[in-house]
Structure 1
């Protein structure tokens, strides 16, 4: 299977699993409408999806560094969908938390191994990794449309239908995995070669930048549907449109980020992106009316231009632990922001959503400051490094 086709298949699988990260925020207005949950209560649901996911992703990353586990991609995709599908069936708040947490574990298991596989298939190409990331963006963007189409017509009792993308995604990633298995059997590049020295200090700074990005993205995605109604005077459609724009803008940002990184280095592209995101978030919080959607789109693009670049940067900073690096930069970037959403929800209940969302303007500024201190690493492409290692092992020793 050609590289581009394999990346497309993996990207589609990425879309199918990230639908369920977007589905959590998409279900928030329906939980409020049908179950009269407060801002703090719906923040707890987002937290449930985030806590286990945040803890589990580094664990799965460590496992991926030790053993290749491509089989976990279809299994984790189905698990992510099953949790969301069951979350609407019970009126019990604790059970809802459990089901959403199960979905979070499925998503957590998916990302480290998918980042490792995508790095092998892409052979280190920033553009190919950008397209892989686009799948996740499209999954996020599809989530509000899918949830609204299913739940708005028949209520939360129809939530079991939401498992269908997970079943499709689990099946779609199988051809790419079979092709990768055949390819690695031929060239001996089944794992990323442990070439280079880990730069733990730079990886820590990168991870902090990822955390700050996560806080603003998850904070907005959790409350943007409710906030859009206030800022535009619209109803459910206005909220769904805002969430769709927030997620869809990420698809453009990811492709643009990979292209820009081919012209300038990744650190420079990410640094400028975060700098331009500061006024975009401010406009999202303070500008009313139709212009609100413009600033949501700019915020989304600004937050996602660095997205795939952060994944490859992390893997280059930790060349001997690419699974761990992928789990943190690709998965933690979404999940850890949920740890802050209960605080945002509590402040919103006590004051207003506008006041609660205002501190998010600071987050991209902190990411920008951190990227000003990061170096641009250089690392061999994974396949090339593996082949070089194989060739060296088979060459005669000369003196």
Structure 2
């Protein structure tokens, strides 16, 4: 689960870090416009946080994590291929999708480690967010060597790997069985 969270954080922080540069350097928009796009991404993410929990209650924690990672792949694929309104909509949907799993992964971590909820919270939030900085550094290296557009072409591989790893996560029934609830 920590690897899924790490890959999600690399993607999340990569978008926040490099989307403004992409808008200003590649699409030739103003810095203000680029900042507005990042604000839209973050605002949509806040809405995603509010929606992700109830959806996980209905369909399961693992399902929402897998759905999020699965939907991120085509959204990120579209980033360097769209412009104008379609890109703006894609940015908003991507923010909604990626942040919808933040609370979900915290809850799953706490369910997996019911006697160590502090450790679970630290791993799912603290460690995961910290690793986002590492991923941003690696994505920055890709952008420096091959360009921002190439970096956005590579980025869908992160949720693809997270999706495959999420297949290994236990379902709710397996968590209950593990802890005898």
User: In 2, distance between residues paired with 1:259 and 1:353?
Assistant: 36
Structure 1 stretches of at least 4 aligned residues deviating more than 4 Å after TM superposition: none
Cα deviation digits, residues 292-340 of structure 1 (max 9, x gap): 1111111111111211010010011111211111011122232212113
Contact 2:4–2:162 under 8 Å retained in 1? yes
Runs of 5+ consecutive residues of structure 2 not aligned to the other structure: none
Contact 1:253–1:304 under 8 Å retained in 2? yes
User: In 1, distance between residues paired with 2:87 and 2:102?
Assistant: 23
TM-score (norm 2): 0.88
1:347 counterpart = 2:142: yes
**Matched residue, 1:131:** none
- Aligned pairs, number: 175
**Matched residue, 1:75:** none
User: In 1, distance between residues paired with 2:26 and 2:74?
Assistant: 17
Higher relative contact order (CA 8 A, sep 6+): 2
1:297 counterpart = 2:123: no
Contact 1:231–1:289 under 8 Å retained in 2? no
**Matched residue, 1:378:** 176
**Matched residue, 1:309:** 104
Contact 1:217–1:334 under 8 Å retained in 2? no
Deviation (angstroms), 1:231: 4.9
1:1-399 → structure 2 map (5 Å cutoff): 206-375=1-170, 376=172, 377-378=175-176
Deviation (angstroms), 1:229: 2.1
Q: What's the C-alpha RMSD, in Å, of the aligned pairs?
A: 1.9
Runs of 5+ consecutive residues of structure 1 not aligned to the other structure: 1-205, 380-384, 386-399
Deviation (angstroms), 1:369: 1.3
User: Which has the larger Rg?
Assistant: 1
Q: Secondary structure at the match of 2:80?
A: helix
